Every structure is written in C-alpha cells, then in structure tokens.
Amino acid sequence: MTLLDKLSLPGPVVSLIPRPRGLGVTHGPTHFVYCIECITPNHIYVGETSQLEIRICAHKYRDGSSFTKRHGVKRWCIVASAATKKEAEKLEREEYLRLKTKGFKMGGFQWREEYGQI
C-alpha cells in the first residue's frame, strides 16, 4: 500500500514508475504535472514534481503550499508526465493558463507569473 492509497482522495489509482538507478539512463517519466481541486469552490492548484507521493501528501496535510493550506484538497489528478523538469514546467504553465482562461481561481504556477518569471 502506497501513501496515496492511505490519503482517501477520490483521485485516480496511480502506478508510479520508479526512477532507474545507474548509468544516468532514465526510462519513463520522472516529473509529473498535477491538478488539485480545492475544497473551496472554483479553486484549482497546478503543480509539478518529481516526487508525486510526497508532494500530494504535503498538500493533503496542509504543508504543500499556502494556496492549498488556505483552500484545502478535495481531489487530484495527474495531468501530464515528462522526462525532464524543464518539459514538465512548460506543461505546467500550459495547464495553468488553460484553466485560468476558464475562470478558475488558480494557485501553484501563479507566483511565478506574478513575479515575471514566466
């Protein structure tokens, strides 16, 4: 049983691909883009991580971000996976902007946007 099974979130059952060891060769995704639907209506958090189980647990127990600490975690899903952090950040930005244009109150990628880092 993984940590995600213990969270009792109504998100998908996820089979994570472990990072291979040795020779610096990677197989499969090592970074994930995820969305969290907050308890507060119309609020969504978009994030990127290479340690999905740890990051989701942090959000669930209000230690992940100030946004999810304030608005809570209702459910989550994986949006995309990528082989590199740079590729995952690009996908995160695209998902953030797609949802923002639909009128959701957004968290996650927002701080980089506000400070001109995108």
How far is it, in rounded angstroms, from Cα 106 to Cα 55?
Answer: 18
The two tokens of residue 64 are: 């992940």
How far is it, in rounded angstroms, from Cα 22 to Cα 11?
Answer: 32
pTM of the model: 0.70
Amino acid 28: pLDDT = 61
Average the pLDDT over 39-44 and give the result.
91
* Phi and psi angles of residue 106, each rounded to the nearest 5 degrees, phi first: -110, 150
Domain regions of the chain by residue span = 28-114
